Structures are given as C-alpha cells and as structure tokens.
Structure 1
Amino acid sequence: METLAVDTEGVDSDIYFDLGFKRLGKGVVGSTPRILSLLSSLLERSVRKNETESETETVNFKDNVAIFHGLRAPAISIRHYIDRIFKYAGCSPSCFLVAYIYVDRFVQQTDVHLTSLNVHRLLITGVLVAAKFVDDAFFNNAYYARVGGVSTAELNSLEMNFLFSLDFRLKVTVNTFQRYCSQLQKEYSDVHQIERPMRACGINDSWPSKSDTQCAPTVSR
C-alpha cells in the first residue's frame, strides 16, 4: 500500500499560507484555517446543485456506494460538521485537503454524486484515512466515530469500502496537492464556475466499550 507524504516545501507559499496550512499547527486553538470554510462552501454548493439536477432521476446504488447513503440528511450542516471534525479530531489542516482529494477520487471512480445523504459519511471517512497517511499521530476509529456521529462498526465498514473503491491508491503528489489548492481558490472566487455541475473538485488524477471511549492516539499503520 502506498503511503502519503506531502512535501510542503514544494507547494506555492502564498497559496499555502492563504489556505491556513502554515499558520496553525496541530491542536492549536484560535483562528480557523481558511481551507475549512472554503471546502464547506464548495461542498454545500455541489450538494445543492446535484440534488436539484437529480430530483427526477432514479439511481440504483452499488453496495460499496450505498453504504455511504443515509435514510435522511443529518441535522448538522456541512460547515459545522467540518468545524466539529477539526475541533475534536486534532488532525492537521492538510488532512482536509487530502480528504477532499480522496473524496473526489471516490466520486470519479464510483460515478456517484455528492448529496446531503452521503457527504457527511464521505467527509468523516476521508479525513480519517487522510489523517492516518498524513499525520505522525492520530486518534483511533472509535474516537473518529464519536466525532462523526456514527458507530465504530459503521465507520470501520465505511473505511474499508472507501479504501477498496480507491483501490488503496492513496498517494498524493506535490503537483496534485498544489493543483487542488489552486483549483479550490479559483472555484471559490468564480461564481460561474461554481454554478456548473460538479461532483467535487473535478480534477482528473492519474493513479499508478470503555476502551472505545479512551480514544488514545496511535501511530500504527
């Protein structure tokens, strides 16, 4: 399995600072990195667009996709959900962009559209997987399940289906990382581009119990 190493020295410093990657360290309380509001805004627009266009469509989901779809949309908004994950998961801001890249790969691979019924589960799963490959230390699945509002067993299943859908290809190159940074900024500032049909960022990649509540960090791979 390929591991992920994002070389921040290769990323344009202005974009990196603007998105809040270098201002904050892991677990630093205070201001919120801009990447969170940017991602939530784009995802909310994408969900609204996709749901408007699919009102008359009947979709049959495969098992590896259906598991991410709930019966009803969660009460918490995408923005508050992302903020909650950042507040309690303690992962680095880079994890959220990497998670977004993973979600984009997932929707391209499965041909699924982001909706209010699946976006929350895809987010918590994407951040969990990204944290395991980006950060030196991370909380276990039981802790992430509590943060995400799902059971540990459900998150375990979501993670497994997510990884198999990606064919376990989790490597993100510096060029890919920077392209997504630039594309996010562009789509965020360009209303006409945001209003077009989108699944996620739309960048095509070339892929080569008590113990549960303790939530101790682990570095096991």
Structure 2
Amino acid sequence: MAKLRFEVSIDFFRLAMATLAIDTEGVDSDIYRALGFKELGKGAVGTPRILSLLSSLLEKSVQLNETESETVNFKDNVAIFHGLRVPTISIRNYIDRIFKYAACSPSCFLVAYVYVDRFVQQTDVHLTSLNVHRLLITSVLVAIKFIDDAFFNNAYYARVGGVTTAELNSLEMSFLFSLDFRLQVTVNTFQRYCSQLQKETSDIHQIERLIRACGIKDSWPSKSDTQRAPTISR
C-alpha cells in the first residue's frame, strides 16, 4: 500500500510539472539580469549571482536561529530533515556543488528558495545547520523537476547532495506533502522574490559603505554577519 501511494503521488507530481511550469518572460529584465538569470542558462559556465545571495541569506538565517535557540527551545516539527551532525561543507560550497553537478537552470535556485520559504511557514520549522543542507538539496530537486525540461534521477541527485537515494526519496515525499503539492510559482511571485533578494543586497551595500566611511572595523561583524534574510529566517 505504501508503494502504491508513493507511485500515485509521483504521477501526480509529474502531471503538475507538465501543466504548471513557470513562465519567467514577464519578470523585470533588470532584476532578472542582476541576479544572473539572463546571461547564464542551463549548463552555462559561470556562477550566477543568485547563488551567493541565497547562501548568504541562508547562512544568516541559520546564525540567527541558532543564536536564538540558546534561549528558546525550538521543536523540530519535521524530524526527517534533522541530521545527526553538522555537515563539514559550508552552505555556500554546498549550493555551488549542486549548481555545478546538477546542470540545472539558475532559476531553479530562486524557485527552491520560494519552496523553502513556504515549507518554513507551513511547518514552523527553524532553519539550522542540522537541517538546511537537506532542505536545500530537496527543494532544488523539486524545483528542477518542476521547471526544467530534463533532469537526472534521484540516485544522481542523492550523490550530489551526499545522501542515500532512499533518504532523498523520503525527503522529497515529506517535502511535497508538507507543501500540499503547492508547487506553482507565478510570475508575480517569482518577481517579488527576485526584488526581495535585490533589496536585501542593496541594504547590505549601504551598511558596508557606512562602516567604511566611519572607519569601523573590529567592533562590527563581518559581511556575512550583516546580511539579513526576509521571511525565510524563522
């Protein structure tokens, strides 16, 4: 019975992918280009700016949550994403690795960001260093299947993400059901998240210019510490 439910849900997911693919033609071209979507298509050589922005936001979210967890006991509502130990690879290097080997379009990472934000709101999970990597590989996997024309099987993405195929299958199913299979990302939603990322970067640059103008150094946190995540930091 469990196998049948799995196969039915996968068929439903494939139907959703075939009928609800995102159309990014209506997205503001300046913002789209600024995040590295215009110049870099699927399989292109180079690093789109979305990768560094996303990693910075996630790192800041994890840092804020783990600092807060010292005084507040967070409950892990989706234990399957909670690892036993912190991965040795950083969030930034992990995102770069996924982009390098997954051969997906840069837009997948923005859509994955939308999915993680929905997941966090739906489950009230707090991003930590013990769950962020699993959420990343799972959300990117789902985004690839949803918006890209071609993709590898789960066994391949499991190797990329450093998990077993069985584990990634379970993570994918848990993620999909937590989202209620709500995978469609409209043009307006896509542009709103693009603008959000762009605004975060502009705010960060203003803070850095102020720090340099005031000659403040050691008493201030580093660049990565000053970056703030929007709704995803829970």
Query: TM-score, length-normalised on structure 1?
Result: 0.84
Name 2:76's counterpart in structure 1. 61
1:36 partner amino acid: L
Check the 8 A contact 2:53/2:201 in 1, yes or no: yes
Distance, in Å, in 2 between the alignment partners of 1:197 and 1:184 is: 9
CA separation of 1:195 and 1:26: change in aligned 2, threshold 3 A: closer
Match of residue 48 from structure 2? 33
CA distance in structure 2 between the aligned counterparts of 1:127 and 1:111, rounded to whole angstroms:
20
Provide the residue aligned with 2:9 in structure 1.
none
1:92 to 101, 105, 118: 105
Asked whether 1:163 is paired with 2:163, we answer no
Larger Rg: 2
Aligned counterparts of 2:44 and 2:228: Cα–Cα separation in 1: 36
Q: Distance in 2 between matches of 1:69 and 1:127?
A: 17
**Contact kept in structure 2, 1:50 and 1:199, CA below 8 Å:** no
**Structure 1 counterpart of 2:71, one-letter code:** T
Q: Deviations over 1:62-113 (max 9, x none)?
A: 3xx1100111110100000000000000010000000000000000000111
Three-state SS of the structure 2 residue aligned to 1:92 is coil
Q: Does 1:43 align with 2:43?
A: no
Cα distance in structure 2, aligned partners of 1:151 and 1:53: 31
Query: Which residue is 1:119 aligned to?
Result: 132
> 2:36 touches 2:50 (CA, 8 Å); kept in 1?
yes
Which structure shows the bigger proportion of residues in helix conformation? 2
1:11 to 27, 36, 41: 27
Mapped partners of 2:89, 2:227: distance in 1: 23
SS at the partner of 1:97?
helix
- Aligned pairs for 1:134-213 (under 5 A) are 134-191=147-204, 200=232
* Structure 2: runs of 5 or more not aligned: 1-11, 208-225
Q: Which amino acid aligns with 1:114?
A: L
CA shift, 1:136, in A, is 0.4
**What displacement does 1:190 show?**
1.8
Query: One-letter code of the match for 2:38?
Result: K
Tell me the equivalent position of 1:215.
none
| Cα displacement (A) at 1:197 | 7.5
| Contact map agreement 1:38 1:188 (CA 8 A) in 2 | yes
**Deviations along 1:114-146, whole A, 9 cap, x unmatched?**
111110000000000000010000011000000
Give aligned-pair identity as a percent.
80
Equivalent-residue separation in structure 1 for 2:201 and 2:83 (angstroms) = 28
- Distance (Å, rounded) in 1 between the aligned partners of 2:231 and 2:127: 6
SS at structure 1 position matched to 2:25:
helix
1:58 partner SS: coil
Q: Distance in 2 between matches of 1:96 and 1:190?
A: 21
The answer to whether the 8 A contact 2:56-2:227 is kept is no
1:132 aligns with 2:145: yes
Q: How many residues align?
A: 198
Would the aligned equivalents of 1:36 and 1:82 in 2 still touch at CA under 8 Å?
yes
Q: TM-score, normalised by structure 2?
A: 0.80
